[in-house]
Structure 1
């Protein structure tokens, strides 16, 4: 149970198979093995002792995958930096876990020295771009070229493998500590659930600093799949890459899927190689799913629900629940059933399991659950209670064990004494064919305490009013759940992982309020 074992296996069994493709570069497993072993040696010479943290601030690339494997090979701990953060937030994450080495690419080169100069412990800077290394930085390629390979440190099991910083929706971000066992067990459980790993050509377009993409890469390392890597999401480039490299599967957030389906080049590209689409961060809307099924017949859709603290997958919704025939069951709206090796309960505020079809908090137990938050004893004790990870997500479980997420517990709207879960309202809004995206929040209301407020992105060229949407919602949900107010925007604020940032939508309404939501 160590995260470099898959590379050893591939070198033994298929050394000349292509491991990674990035732009015009490609490397076989034996070439990847050599570069990883040399990178590990270079990092050790720069002070990466067992358990030492190494950060990378970069867009996706072949070097990003080498960074993950190289740090683990050398016995270190990865600290992948959120590419959407400010310099101050990046410095906080480096300082918080005392990170001594920072690898940057061309995109983030302009802020590298500002980060280093501000950090409490100035990190060794390594340039992993395409040009000549700037003064004051070491060259990634030269380190690999001139450092002899070292043996795998073979750290595994409960040894720390990664510190993944959460988005910091409240207060400072927390460093989620994930062991080799956490990441390995989650990956292997997914492999057993999906049954599609091994000699697969997989596209990485979601950012690799995020747990969803990084953990997926871990699974492909274990299985020995071919990684096709794109620096960032661009729908035209995604279509070209799938066609060019005969990509068989890809992970999207629903907004990415929708953008690809609506791109003008979609109909002219040959996408026959594509077999599977995984999506996460949020459920797919009925309209997007219908379009996808029509335009990509025969594609298998998988939805996974999880969180960083669970490394990350908790439950999986399989292709059988995404077909047109299965739509009537409503199971495509679920988060699926708990995965292999993961135990899930829905509990009340006292930690007692509630009856089926009753809303409560999701708690999780399994080898995938994090070790805790870095240097945050109180927060760790709050999240990990009696052997269970308390997710903060509100949901119910039906009689067949399917999970239905209703809201973050802290995002529940209390209006006039009634509980309203934003996901239920968003599901109703998204049924309208003119709604591209929507988010529901609670805003202050003198009479009701909170009022249900919707933020909507409408399809270009459509004519849509708030009254139209409210009337449409009344067909599906009770009147008190329907939005009291609706705001139309051209775009939503999104996180690097493609999630809608509700805290930014909420902030203007609660700025001068004594009581705030979330």
Structure 2
């Protein structure tokens, strides 16, 4: 299969149905197809060849939707940049993947000088915003208007669809390579569960479209037909207005977004009765938040998805009915229709039910590998199973209960934060002698990025100064939300920092070591 297959099917069956709604702008599937074919022609005219990476750095929009289709139409490869990253992180991902063509909108055009300085091979920039086009940048609408439509290259199957960058355990982002089959199988498998997507309905995109979670929702909605209702970024007022005005039925949200919606007076006063299905992921949701969310979206059913970018991204699903179960609601659900899930020991032998081990996943949704990282790929995919780095047990009915992370990662507000990235940034401050970064429980974010810092002899600094320092090197959401200064860090006989000791007092009363 190929990603553009959904567009061909929609044009054949419902050409006049709205494909996208963005602000005051609505475009049909027929209009979308024409614009996608013209944008693909423009990319080819700019020298984009088969397999070349084309990036985008933008907030959500209808043009983002067109980019996701036009790049494979032109036989090229997607590379959506994380809009929450710093210029240095984004430039690294562009340079590492060899991305030479980048689409950028009004919000991120000011970042261009820094990106070009850090990645001189960035040859072509296309402005895809609604404001004035910056000097030295091509205008998206001019390119669409100037080129005649070209035929679809029908890039698909096992060929590379996109390179999606995640945080890295060694401190630098790594590109996850996903094929067309990977993305489509995960989307269709999740939809086959029956609680994810309304066939032919209207899906709200409020979560960032660069993220695999929302991209899975975009893929499923495109394949099942219907309409994408898009807001630039998550905002409770914008979400309430979009649901009320366009009667959206489905949405992909992370728990912190659901909490904000549940507690917003604007949302509480809005009519959200059209909502039918809400899929959330990255972490469980508290019963209290779920109860409050049910009051503002009384007609919606909630489904939890567990997975990772490397799984395109879904591995397990917790159905709406399971949310009412006193035990199962604490789980990550059971294997999705397209996934095989096991819990294994250090020798990759499946452990007895109820025994904690590592979650491993197999299926046609598992990534092709990490871009230019064959050794890390071989380690992650050994034996044909994706090793998630999550510690969990499975009960007799197949429900997976995640209890710990075997890899040094924090999930805060639905975003993965690798401790090494934050520690590397902190260590570059002249006052820091050594440091360790851990995740601690947080009512709002699920987990909070917490830094434990030893200062150089005689040095002085503050938590705020360290936070601001790290924000110049890494994304703001990775910056420590709390900082603790100590005289020394606990270390093993081999000199390794004992993070479990640092975490112990924060997690002592918890029945598991993750949120």
Q: TM-score, normalised by structure 1?
A: 0.81
Partner of 1:262: 263
Is the aligned partner of 1:140 residue 2:140? yes
The aligned runs of 1:273-284 (5 Å cut-off) are 273-284=274-285
Residue 480 of structure 2: which of 486, 489, 504 is its match?
A: 504
Within 5 Å, which residues of 2 pair with 1:39-438?
39-194=39-194, 196-322=197-323, 326-328=324-326, 330-411=327-408
Unaligned stretches of 5+ in structure 1? 413-421, 427-438, 442-449, 460-488
State whether residues 163 and 177 of structure 2, in contact with CA within 8 Å, keep that contact through their aligned partners in structure 1: yes
Is the 2:133–2:139 contact (alpha carbons within 8 Å) kept by the matching residues of 1? Answer: yes
Aligned to 1:515: 496
Shift of 1:509: 6.1
Aligned length: 447
Q: CA deviation at 1:154?
A: 0.3
| Distance in 1, Cα, partners of 2:479 & 2:394 | 27
C-alpha separation in 2, matches of 1:508 and 1:176: 34
Query: Cα distance, 1:327 vs. partner?
Result: 3.5
Q: Distance in 1 between matches of 2:225 and 2:145?
A: 25
Change (3 A) 1:16 1:268: same
**CA apart distance, 1:266:** 2.6
Q: Partner of 2:23 in structure 1? A: 23
Q: Conserved in 2, the CA contact under 8 Å of 1:101 and 1:123?
A: yes
1:32 aligns with 2:32: yes
1:132-188, Cα deviation, whole Å (9 max, x unpaired)? 322210000000011110000001111100000012354211100000110011111
Question: Cα distance, 1:226 vs. partner?
Answer: 0.4
Question: What runs of 5+ residues in structure 2 fail to find an aligned partner?
Answer: 420-435, 446-463, 490-494, 501-515
Instruction: For residue 265 of structure 1, give the secondary structure of its aligned residue in structure 2.
Output: helix
- Whole-Å separation in 2 of the counterparts to 1:458 and 1:298: 25
Checking the alignment, whether the CA contact within 8 Å between 2:322 and 2:328 is kept in structure 1 is: yes
2:246 & 2:271 partners in 1: Cα distance?
A: 11
Looking at structure 1, the residues matched to 61 and 96 of structure 2 have their Cα atoms a distance apart, in angstroms, of 26
For 1:57-95, what per-residue CA distance to the aligned partner results, in whole angstroms no more than 9, with x for missing partners?
Answer: 000101111111000111110100011111111111111
Alpha-carbon distance in 2 for matches of 1:123, 1:218:
29
Secondary structure of the residue that 1:283 maps to in structure 2? coil
Greater shift, 165-174 or 24-33, is seen at: 165-174
Separation in 1, partners of 2:137, 2:486: 44
| Alpha-carbon shift at residue 290 of structure 1 (Å) | 2.1
Q: CA deviation at 1:457?
A: 4.9
2:480 is paired with a residue whose SS is helix
Aligned-partner Cα distance in 2 for 1:197–1:100: 38
RMSD between superposed Cα atoms in Å: 2.9
**Contact kept? 2:274, 2:299, Cα under 8 Å:** no
> Matched residues in 1 for 2:33 and 2:263: separation?
40
Query: Relative to structure 1, is the Cα distance of residues 370 and 107 closer, same or farther in structure 2, using a 3 angstrom cutoff?
Result: same
| SS of 1:65 mapped into structure 2 | helix
8 Å Cα contact 1:38/1:148 also seen in 2? yes
Q: Secondary structure at the residue paired with 1:191?
A: helix
Shift of 1:299: 1.8
Aligned CA distance change for structure 1 residues 453 and 212 (closer, same or farther; 3 Å): closer
Contact 1:169–1:503 (CA under 8 A) maintained in structure 2: no
SS of residue paired to 1:320? helix
The answer as to whether partners of 1:280 and 1:304 remain within 8 angstroms in 2 is yes
Change (3 A) 1:381 1:511: farther
What SS does the corresponding residue of 1:228 show, helix, strand or coil?
strand
Equivalence map 1:460-475=2 (5 Å): none
Q: Residues 263 and 292 of structure 2 are in contact (CA less than 8 Å); yes or no, is this contact kept in structure 1?
A: no
Cα contact 2:272–2:296 (8 A) shared by 1: no
Contact 2:254 2:280 in 1 (8 A): yes
Please give the secondary structure, in 1, of the residue aligned with 2:43. Answer: helix
Measured against aligned partners, the alpha-carbon deviations of 1:223-275 in whole angstroms (never above 9, x if no partner) come to: 12200001011111111111011011111111111111111123321111111
Change (3 A) 1:511 1:62: farther
In the alignment, the residues of structure 2 paired with residue 30 and residue 8 of structure 1 have an alpha-carbon distance, to the nearest angstrom, of: 9
| 1:84-126 deviations in Å (ceiling 9; x for gaps) | 1111111111110101101100000111132123214123010
Distance in structure 2 (CA, Å) of the matches to 1:34 and 1:247: 25
**SS at 2:193's partner residue?**
helix
Deviation at 1:506, TM superposition (A): 8.1
- Asked if the contact 1:314/1:339 (under 8 Å) is kept, the reply is yes
